[in-house]
Amino acid sequence: MEYVDLPEIQFTQEEAAGIEQNVITVYEGLTGRTLQPADPVRLFLSSLAAIIVQQRVLINQTAKGNLLRFASGVLLDHMGAFQGSERLDAAAAITTLQFTLSIPLSSATSIPAGTRVGAQGGDGSIYFATSEYLEIPAGATTGTVTAVCATPGPSGNGFLPGQVNVLMDQLPFVQAVTNLTASSGGAAEESDAAYRERIRAAPESYSTAGPQGAYEFWAKSTSAAILDVHAYSPAAGKVTIVPLLVGGQIPGQDVLDAVAETLEDRGIRPLTDQVTVTAPTPVSYNTALTYYISRSRSAEVPGIQAAVSAAVAAYQLWQRSKLGRHINPSELIARVMAAGALRVVPTTPVYTALTPLQVAQDGETTITYGGLADD
């Protein structure tokens, strides 16, 4: 969903020179006096005009803040409440844990909800707690359960299978515990930009007939970690949902299951729809370029080099932050040029068109400084 290309809006004039001249003209008309540049009265009126300009600026900012495009912070929260959409809190990372008993038992073994398991080398500062009660049947030695990081936000992301394995609450006969999936889904509180987009899409959620916009809205509402969603129907009665996480991360199975659980609600999914949630297909590309800096800016070389490296990283983030965004080397060249380069010679990537089911993923990065060059 894109914004309509509307002209800039201004509710009141805030041009300083015009306001000051208007104040002086009104005074001269009322008093019959002509104010010279050094007249104390003129200086006093100029100070009042400065205050009026500040007020005009505040009026414009406040009035524009009542429009969704410009709203932010608490005002945006109130707009969302009017639409029935609250800002999403920081999301905690999730993973699937497997508990293993030392021996098969003749009775069922209980693993209470909230059982804590720490990350290897985390000194107990980062740990996951089981989200529900787990019971390992008699005669069995293993059981799996979903666990949620105790610290909301991205700090719980990225623990690979086997790295969450420190049992912090001792349980009888439990010999080992480990995560079977990489932890993912942790994110900071929903940003103004992401929240604004969800508010714009909120009317789509009013339909219970299963339109594309409604599926995408509810999928995004699962967690603040979900950046982009594409919903489509590959066949009659079938719906496929493809989510993408903040930072362009590919969602793991735990996140996919969480989205599927949200969409299972009978107030969201029509009874005749068979919904499948799947991860996008990554399309890898390498980044290799050589850039040159103008000889006239030789004193700025260290700063420009740092800016170029930052520009390449920003390009890679932009490239992987939307489903179906074509791999576009022209964007890379533009960003590196804006960072101060005189000339850019990219080797890779090459332009590659992607479908909404795919997402670009950066691979190896090689940035070569070619030296100073004449304009």
**Pick from 260, 245, 225: nearest CA to 322:** 245
**Pick from 179, 186, 187, 158: nearest CA to 95:** 179
pLDDT score recorded for residue 201: 87
Mean pLDDT throughout 254-275? 91
Do 211 and 246 touch, CB atoms closer than 8 A?
Answer: no
CA torsion sign for 127, 130, 136, 140 is: negative
- Does 188 have pLDDT greater than 90? yes
Q: What is the pLDDT of residues 211-237, one digit of tens each?
A: 899 999 999 999 999 999 999 999 999
Q: What is the mean pLDDT of the chain?
A: 92
Cα–Cα distance, 111 to 252 (Å, whole number): 24
What's the gap between Cα 100 and its chain centre?
A: 37
Share of residues in the chain with pLDDT > 90 (%): 80
- Does 319 have pLDDT greater than 80? yes
> Residue 3 — pLDDT band, cuts 50, 70, 90?
low
Cα–Cα distance, 371 to 375 (Å, whole number): 13
The identity of residue 347, as a single letter, is T
Length of the chain: 375
> Residue 152 — pLDDT band, cuts 50, 70, 90?
very high
* Tokens 């479908």, located at residue: 355
| Tokens linked to 71 | 């709203």
Q: 3-state DSSP call for residue 196?
A: helix
**What is the radius of gyration, based on Cα positions, of the chain?**
29
> Residue 267 — pLDDT band, cuts 50, 70, 90?
confident
pLDDT score recorded for residue 310: 97
CA torsion sign for 67, 71, 75, 76 is: positive
- The 8-class DSSP code of residue 190 comes to P
Mean pLDDT throughout 189-197? 91
Cα–Cα distance, 32 to 202 (Å, whole number): 59
pLDDT score recorded for residue 108: 95
Cα–Cα distance, 245 to 299 (Å, whole number): 41
| Tokens linked to 136 | 């390992």
Q: Identify the CATH assignment for 192-279 out of 3.30.300, 2.40.50, 1.10.150, 1.10.3470.
A: 3.30.300
Cα–Cα distance, 143 to 127 (Å, whole number): 19
- Does 123 have pLDDT greater than 80? no
Q: Where are the domains of the chain?
A: 94-179, 192-279, 282-373
Cis peptide before 349 (omega within 30 of 0): yes
Cα–Cα distance, 111 to 101 (Å, whole number): 11
- Does 143 have pLDDT greater than 60? yes
- Does 206 have pLDDT greater than 60? yes
Do 349 and 332 touch, CB atoms closer than 8 A?
Answer: yes
pLDDT score recorded for residue 1: 47
pLDDT score recorded for residue 202: 86
pLDDT score recorded for residue 4: 63
* Tokens 């390992």, located at residue: 136
Cα–Cα distance, 74 to 63 (Å, whole number): 15
Cα–Cα distance, 289 to 311 (Å, whole number): 12
Q: 3-state DSSP call for residue 354?
A: coil
Q: What is the DSSP annotation of 59-85?
A: HHHHHHTTSTTT--HHHHHHHHHHHT-
Mean pLDDT throughout 313-341? 97
Query: Where do runs of H (alpha helix) occur along 208-366?
Result: 212-220, 253-263, 301-320, 329-338
